């Protein structure tokens, strides 16, 4: 699997950017409140939550698997943390850590069952979806469980209510842009040293576009309250996943397994261990998404996390990831997530009925699957 930056990847990202701009233009015309600072800030939070889960989903899509239990897991793990805080009186940090540990164990068990028994991930995670949903409702007793006592704030609630002020946000943005530039330059020199062709102009173009997007994001957020914490958490997760996929043996193994599992196995790739590791990491991402989504809702309710796994899969496929494995990038997933978040946000502003929103999400998922089939028919 060739993981070098290619003009094909850039072309696809450019096409997604055009689609995103068209969506934004349409919604800004039919719903003027779409471009208000407050709505854009809410959109960034929603985008961040969807993107975090989509990045975790990418880790299991690359080796050719899928996880249908992620959405119910979002509700379950967020609900466990809320119950530990409200009914057992545990401090928020302790409750979040316990819930994170439970998520890691559950998803590691799912991964071990998939590779150990040779059962398709679709079946195991479909069972996980149903079991997780039942456990979730049992944990919260099918009621609404708030995440704070008496309206006061704790670490849990601050996950989506804290905003980094404009000044520090701009400083953080400069540091991130500088780090991205340094990383791109190191990658260029590493490719040159390894005798691999590296297009420095393409690298600069990608860095420049990403830098402009980050500065625009920070300036827009500064018009409301500042940079929301979920955006910072998303940046951290995206950086970690990017480093894992592009600069680690584990990441190369994920692409190799998705490209040809049998060949990867014959080449000495520890397929079982890598797949179990991917599911374990997804469990950690599901936990973080559960905390963010529950905090954004203000309470754990029976609808938290509903259909989020489909949004995550759609975001990955729209962004160029293959359901067959072996193809996908962090940048593509972020663009796909932003398209999904923009679509849902715009439909909400237009007061589109819930049934129509469900149909729109289904249509997007169907189109994404069709694109995956069409791309798979072409040479990689």
Predicted confidence band at 6 (pLDDT cuts at 50, 70, 90)? low
Tokens encoding 58: 């990418």
**Range scoring the smallest mean pLDDT among 67-76, 271-280, 354-363:** 354-363
> Once rounded to an integer, what is the mean pLDDT over residues 60-64?
96
**Ranked by mean pLDDT, which of 6-20, 68-82, 358-372 comes out on top?**
68-82
Q: CA 264 to CA 129: how far, in whole Å? A: 30
Tokens encoding 218: 């920070």
pLDDT given for residue 378 in this prediction: 56
Predicted confidence band at 2 (pLDDT cuts at 50, 70, 90)? very low
Q: What is the DSSP string of 227-277?
A: EEHHHHHHHHHHHHHHHHHHSSHHHHHHHHHHH-HHHHHHTT--HHHHHHH
Per-residue model confidence as pLDDT tens digits over 167-203: 999 999 999 999 888 887 887 777 777 676 666 777 7
Q: How many CA atoms lie within 13 A of 308 on its CB side?
A: 33
**Range scoring the smallest mean pLDDT among 204-213, 223-232, 262-271:** 204-213
pLDDT given for residue 1 in this prediction: 43
Per-residue model confidence as pLDDT tens digits over 79-133: 999 999 999 999 999 999 999 999 999 999 999 999 999 899 999 999 999 999 9
Q: What is the DSSP string of 309-378?
A: HHHHHHHHHHTT--TTSS---HHHHHHHHHHHHHHHHHHHHTT--HHHHHHHHHHHHHHHHHHHHHHHTS
Residue 346: pLDDT over 60: yes
Per-residue model confidence as pLDDT tens digits over 214-239: 888 888 888 888 999 999 999 999 99
Beta bridge partners of 227: 164
Quote the pTM value: 0.91
Residue 47: pLDDT over 50: yes
pLDDT given for residue 380 in this prediction: 46
- Which residues are CB-contacts of 154 (< 8 A; sequence separation ≥ 6)? 85, 91, 92, 147, 148
Q: CA 239 to CA 213: how far, in whole Å? A: 16
More confident site: 94 or 246: 94
Beta carbons of 339 and 31 less than 8 angstroms apart = no
Q: CA 173 to CA 235: how far, in whole Å? A: 10
Per-residue model confidence as pLDDT tens digits over 291-344: 999 999 999 999 999 989 999 998 998 888 888 888 889 988 999 999 989 998
Q: What is the DSSP string of 173-197?
A: HHHHHHHHHHHHHHHHHHHHHTT--
Could you count the other beta carbons within 10 Å of the beta carbon of residue 127?
15
pLDDT given for residue 8 in this prediction: 57
Predicted confidence band at 276 (pLDDT cuts at 50, 70, 90)? very high
Residue 358: pLDDT over 50: yes
From the list 159, 185, 177, 180, the residue with the least C-alpha distance to 85 is 159
The angle subtended at Cα 197 by Cα 192 and Cα 201, nearest 5°, is 95
- What share of the chain has pLDDT > 70, as a percent? 92
Q: CA 1 to CA 118: how far, in whole Å? A: 24
Residue 69: pLDDT over 80: yes
Could you count the other beta carbons within 10 Å of the beta carbon of residue 184?
18
pLDDT given for residue 10 in this prediction: 65
From the list 304, 206, 195, 284, the residue with the least C-alpha distance to 244 is 284
2: DSSP letter: -
Domain-wise residue ranges, the chain: 35-162+229-306, 166-225
pLDDT given for residue 102 in this prediction: 98
Beta carbons of 59 and 241 less than 8 angstroms apart = yes
Buried b (16+ CB within 10 A) or exposed e, 143-170: eebbbbeeeeebbbbebbbbbbebeebb
More confident site: 190 or 32: 32
From the list 180, 335, 316, 314, the residue with the least C-alpha distance to 246 is 180
Residue 253: pLDDT over 90: yes
Sign of CA dihedral 365, 236, 49, 206: negative
């Amino acid at each position: 699997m060739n993981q070098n930056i290619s003009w094909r990847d850039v072309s696809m990202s450019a096409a997604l950017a055009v689609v995103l701009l068209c969506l934004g233009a349409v919604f800004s015309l039919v719903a003027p409140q779409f471009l208000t600072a407050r709505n854009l800030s809410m959109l960034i939070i929603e985008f961040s939550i969807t993107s975090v889960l989509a990045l975790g989903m990418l880790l299991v899509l690359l080796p050719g698997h899928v996880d249908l239990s992620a959405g119910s897991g979002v509700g379950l793990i967020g609900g466990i943390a809320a119950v530990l805080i409200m009914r057992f009186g545990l401090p928020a940090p302790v409750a979040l850590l316990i819930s994170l540990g439970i998520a890691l164990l559950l998803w590691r068990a799912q991964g071990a069952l998939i590779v150990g028994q040779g059962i398709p991930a679709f079946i195991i995670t479909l069972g996980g979806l149903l079991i997780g949903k039942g456990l979730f409702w049992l944990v919260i007793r099918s009621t609404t469980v708030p995440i704070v006592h008496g309206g006061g704030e704790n670490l849990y609630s601050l996950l989506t209510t804290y905003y980094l002020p404009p000044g520090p946000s701009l400083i953080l943005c400069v540091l991130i842009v500088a780090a991205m530039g340094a990383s791109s330059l190191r990658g260029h020199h590493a490719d040159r040293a390894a005798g691999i062709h590296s297009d420095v102009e393409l690298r600069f173009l990608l860095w420049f576009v990403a830098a402009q997007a980050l500065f625009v994001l920070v300036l827009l957020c500064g018009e409301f309250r500042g940079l929301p914490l979920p955006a910072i958490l998303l940046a951290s997760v995206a950086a970690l996943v990017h480093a894992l996929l592009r600069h680690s043996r584990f990441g190369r193994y994920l692409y190799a397994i998705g490209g040809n599992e049998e060949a990867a196995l014959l080449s000495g790739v520890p397929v079982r261990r890598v797949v179990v590791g991917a599911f374990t990491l997804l469990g950690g991402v599901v936990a973080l998404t559960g905390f963010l989504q529950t905090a954004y809702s203000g309470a754990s309710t029976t609808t938290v996390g509903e259909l989020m796994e489909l949004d995550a899969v759609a975001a990955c496929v729209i962004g160029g990831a293959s359901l067959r494995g072996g193809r996908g990038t962090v940048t593509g997933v972020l663009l796909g997530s932003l398209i999904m978040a923009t679509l849902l946000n715009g439909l909400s502003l237009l007061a589109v009925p819930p049934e129509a929103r469900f149909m729109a999400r289904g249509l997007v998922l169907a189109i994404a699957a069709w694109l995956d089939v069409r791309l798979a028919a072409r040479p990689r």
